């Protein structure tokens, strides 16, 4: 999905479905939770910065966020460049939408999805699966 102000700035965005009414268990509105950026390996090897969410970020600053690499691609989990707290981020997006129910069930769902998909092993498996 397009995620920034620059053409071509895209990421795989993992979202939590938040119910539109209290008690709903099916469906809902997608709230972005995890942002995965994929770059060509050659581009990363020849760069000292990455363009993330409208700003240049030193490559050394994101190396610990690398979740996958192969001979062609390098993938980073860079959600921290979009928000500092997943709960505040999700609550703000829900308030802006106005068509979702932000309650304790939504809060727990967002946190569980965030915790699951920010686990390095889970992300690596996901990206390997998508790359296959």
- Taking the domains of the chain in order of start, what are their residue ranges? 12-131
Q: What CA dihedral angle connects 35, 22, 98 and 28, to 10 degrees?
A: 40
- Block mean pLDDT (10 aa), the chain, length 132: 57 89 81 90 88 88 90 90 93 90 92 90 83 74
The residue among 80, 30, 93 whose CA lies nearest residue 53 is 80
Residue the block writes with tokens 């071509």: 8
Q: Which pLDDT belongs to residue 2? A: 52
CA dist 46 and 31 (Å) reads: 34
CA atoms within 13 A on the CB side of 100: 25
């Amino acid at each position: 999905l397009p995620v920034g102000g620059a053409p071509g700035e895209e990421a795989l965005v993992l979202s939590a479905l938040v119910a539109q009414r209290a008690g709903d268990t099916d469906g809902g509105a997608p709230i972005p939770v995890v942002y995965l950026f994929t770059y060509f390996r050659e581009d990363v090897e020849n760069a000292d910065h990455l363009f993330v969410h409208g700003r240049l970020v030193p490559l050394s600053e994101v190396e610990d966020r690398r979740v996958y690499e192969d001979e062609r691609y390098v993938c980073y989990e860079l959600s921290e460049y979009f928000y500092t707290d997943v709960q505040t981020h999700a609550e703000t997006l829900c308030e802006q939408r106005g068509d979702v129910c932000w309650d304790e069930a939504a809060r727990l769902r967002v946190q569980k999805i965030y915790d699951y998909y920010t686990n390095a092993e889970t992300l690596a498996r996901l990206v390997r699966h998508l790359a296959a």
